[in-house]
Amino acid sequence: MPIYRPTELHQLGVRAKRRLSQNFLIDRNILQKICTTAEIKQNDTVLEIGPGPGALTEALLEKGARVIAVEKDPELAEKLHRFDSKNLEIICGDALTFPFDDIPAGTKVVANLPYHITTPLIGRLIVRSPQIHSLTVMVQKEVGLRMCARENTAMYSSFTVFLKAYSTPTFGFTVKPRSFFPVPSVHSCVVHLRLHPFAFPFSEEAFFQLTRTAFGKRRKMITTSLKSLFSQEKIRTALVAISKKPTARPQELSLAEFGALFSEINSH
């Protein structure tokens, strides 16, 4: 049974649990747009995180995908068995602890994420190229704008730089609250991330320590925000060497420029 109205959720015996931040997507058009944005093709392996009652699961199966559905709520996981499809594997478990090493190479991840686990879960997934081909995620719109932000904008952050170091993020489309039940208080959006290996040939941990520290005081000049890691003279010299002003702030640097800054600082 397709689930496109609240009455159909009730017929299925589904009740949203506030403690799990459950808001179920029931908009047929949005379901199809997600499949299109995720570039789902026949015989693709799709890891669906947070399938809920299975509206998107059904759309993915109709596209001919092989779906691994990871659902934390045992009651909802049980509801998914109604599909009785050889192309559906149902796993009742927490995506934050799921062993992603076990999924096939080239898997496409599609997720309607509870907003409170968006950042930690994407952080786990994004580093898994080429095992994971892409992520297509429903997130709070403000988070989506931050994920896809360009330098010199208010939304540009260390999280943006982190994502771009492992992927090419693309803003898909906005999703209005009425596309869900219960109706959330915020707008959502779908973001598509095509994964690639880490962008630089040096230490990931050290690089992200630099970017997180820089954005920790985003209104300050980089010479000030990074002085806990390096001397101000060293930072100033490195900025000039990569053709940035000594007064530059973190939101002014692209991913490539942060990489160049890191290399320059650590070359002496």
Instruction: Provide the phi-psi class of 243: left if phi over 0, else alpha when psi is between -120 and 50, else beta.
Output: left
* CATH ID of 204-267, from 3.40.50.300, 3.30.70.100, 1.20.1440.230, 1.10.8.100: 1.10.8.100
pTM: 0.92
Q: Which CATH class is domain 6-195?
A: alpha beta
Retrieve residue 237's tokens: 């010299």
Mean pLDDT, range 210-225, rounded to an integer: 96
Q: Which amino acid is at 219?
A: R
Per DSSP, 249 falls in state -
Identify the band that residue 182 occupies on the pLDDT scale cut at 50, 70 and 90.
confident
pLDDT in tens, 137-150: 999 999 999 999 99
pLDDT recorded at residue 201: 97
pLDDT digits (tens, 9 = 90+) for 228-264: 999 999 999 999 999 999 999 999 999 999 999 999 9
Mean model confidence pLDDT for the chain: 93
What is the Cα–Cα distance from 176 to 243, expressed in whole angstroms?
43
136: CB partners within 8 A, 6+ apart: 34, 37, 38, 108, 109, 110, 111, 172, 190, 191, 192, 193
Start-end of H helices in the chain = 6-12, 28-37, 55-62, 74-79, 118-125, 141-147, 158-166, 204-216, 222-225, 232-241, 255-265
- Res 176: pLDDT: 97
Segments making up each domain of the chain, as ranges: 6-195, 204-267
Q: Is 204-267 the same fold as 6-195?
A: no
Confidence band of 104 (pLDDT split at 50, 70, 90): very high
